Amino acid sequence: MKVCVLAGDGIGPEIVAEAVRVLEALRTDGLKIELEPALLGGCAVDAAGSAYPEATQKLAREADAVLLGAVGGPQWDNNPRPLRPERGLLAIRKDLNLFANLRPAILYPELANASTLKPEVVSGLDILIVRELTGDIYFGEPRGVENREVDGRSQRVGWNTMIYSESEIRRIGKVAFEAARKRNRRVCSVDKMNVLETTQLWRDVMIELSKDYPDVELSHMLVDNAAMQLVKAPKQFDVMVTGNMFGDILSDEASMLTGSIGMLPSASLDASNKGLYEPSHGSAPDIAGKGVANPLATILSAAMMLRYSFGNEAAAQRVESAVKKVLALGLRTGDIWEEGCKRVGTREMGDAVLAAL
Ligand code: IPM
Ligand code: MG
């Protein structure tokens, strides 16, 4: 199996290095895996003049999976839109047709105090957000900003297009229903059908699709209410499925219920389970290069890679158990540290996971 490794910007190289060490350790144990580094994001803009350069495109297309750190940083904030690091992320998602973004939000019992919510509200929390990733207002045309005559004067006008086709909705819906079958068999579809036609279609298609999954309970929620319910009673959810933009917002909200975004992995899959795996958090430029970032979300992303792209459930569980073990031993990076625990840096945390493996 070939893995394209994109360390990216900020803390990306530090956290990816630890995940790579974990994969290499499994390799000496018989896992057949080749790791090929390439550039994505701001570092690629600097080195190759593109956030998703051709050399990276070639490697990423050939690979069976992609492991990504994070992209972005203040030094590129004023770049023109095509040369922004995020553009690399959006481009690789679209190029590899990674339409299904899986974002689990799990509360580890050892980290119950990290949440800003009351323990009884979040204890045992285990939600999976299934976010559509290659459509919606993120990619819809037409889009732009231009001067137009409005209210009797020429002024700047900006517009984007929120658009979904039936087939796009159906394929992400299937991913959600299939995922629910391996969990608690409940799907909540999130839309804004009281206002937006495109999400009325979303709801209609989900209802049609649910006929193929009589064993899964489908419910619907308007996105504003879903945002509220996530903080009020998050444990009511099992799988949530929604479009690209609502999913962007709700997945950040869900991740913070756990209080430890540094722990949460994600997978972005195509129709044949080729995937891009990355931590749910960003590039944290403020702590980059200091050796203090939490590598566990990236290590857990590598576990998701073993599970979804390589079908190696045993190896995935081994990595996940190793992570649980270091938490049980009381090791914590700064983001999840609390009184009575041992504060460790990125490398030390990686060492501990390797030892637990
Ligand atoms: C995410 C990020 C990206 C998105 C940005 C960086 C383009 O927020 O992965 O959630 O909006 O999809
Ligand atoms: Mg986001």
Task: Give the integer Cα–Cα distance in Å for 303 and 334.
Answer: 23
**Ligand 1 atom at shortest distance from the alpha carbon of 101:** 9
CA distance 326 to 161: 46
- Give the DSSP per-residue string, 232-291: H-GGG-SEEEE-HHHHHHHHHHHHHHTT-GGG-EEEEE-TTS-EEEEESS---GGGTTTT
**Ligand nearest to C-alpha 70:** 1
Per-residue confidence (pLDDT) for residue 259, from 0 to 100: 83
How many A from CA of 163 to the centre of ligand 2? 19
Element holding 67 (H helix, E strand): strand 65-70
Residue 278 Cα: closest atom of ligand 1: 9
Q: What is the pLDDT of residue 261?
A: 85
Ligand 1 center–CA 242 separation, angstroms: 15
**Alpha carbon distance 263, 256 (integer Å):** 10
At 302 the pLDDT is 98
Torsion of CA 53, 59, 63, 65, to 10 degrees: -30
Please state the pTM of the whole predicted model: 0.94
pLDDT of residue 31: 87
pLDDT tens digits, residue range 120-173? Answer: 999 999 999 999 999 999 999 999 999 999 999 999 999 999 999 999 999 999
Q: Which residues of the chain have a pLDDT value below 50?
A: none
Please indicate whether residue 89, judged by its CB atom, sits closer than 6 Å to ligand 1: yes
Determine phi and psi for 241, rounding to 5 degrees.
-125, 135
Sign of CA dihedral 115, 116, 122, 126: negative
Q: Which residues, listed in sequence order, are joined to residue 67 by a DSSP beta bridge? A: 5, 277
pLDDT tens-digit series, residues 132-146:
999 999 999 999 999
Could you tell me the domains of the chain? 1-101+264-357 (3.40.718.10)
Q: What sign has the CA pseudo-torsion 221, 225, 227, 233?
A: negative
